[in-house]
Amino acid sequence: MRSLIAGVLYALVSLISLGLGSIYVFSDSFMPYHGQALQLQWSELDGSLQVLILALMDVAGAGWITLGLVIIVLLIGPFRSQQRWARFLIPGAIVVFYGPTLMATLNVTNLTPATAPWYGNALAIFAAIAGLAVDAPWISRDRQD
């Protein structure tokens, strides 16, 4: 049962990551909070700056999509078959990706007029830590969940 709860938490992070990544990759302009941070509308930006911002958004989106897909693959295979390394790798990957993302969104929120969606990053980290704590892969799996 504990593994199921952890798996659901990780799957939710995966699905949200895939969604966010898709939004960023397929967007044709910056996010509303980007405009608030710059205090400019998309149409006010120079064409070269638009290209650069969209490229950076593609990179960020690709990171989210990659994380989401990796989590799904790990959940379907090694996590489900109780591989200890996967039970650490999934929450570790979430924290490694969402930690710097949280710091970046907090910087945007604290250093610009924008309010970046930092709370989603914090929730992903919380889900990873909660999943790890609930799953407790350091405890022997010889007994039933």
Q: Angle 79-80-83 (CA atoms, 0-180°, nearest 5)? A: 45
Q: Looking at residue 96, what is its pLDDT? A: 98
Is the pTM here over 0.75, yes or no? yes
Q: Looking at residue 128, what is its pLDDT? A: 98
Neighbours of 69 (CB within 10 A): 14
Chain CA centroid to CA 124, Å? 6
51 pLDDT above the threshold of 90: yes
Closest CA to 89 of 116, 65, 71, 112: 71
**Distance between CA atoms of residues 7 and 84, nearest Å:** 13
Chain CA centroid to CA 94, Å? 6
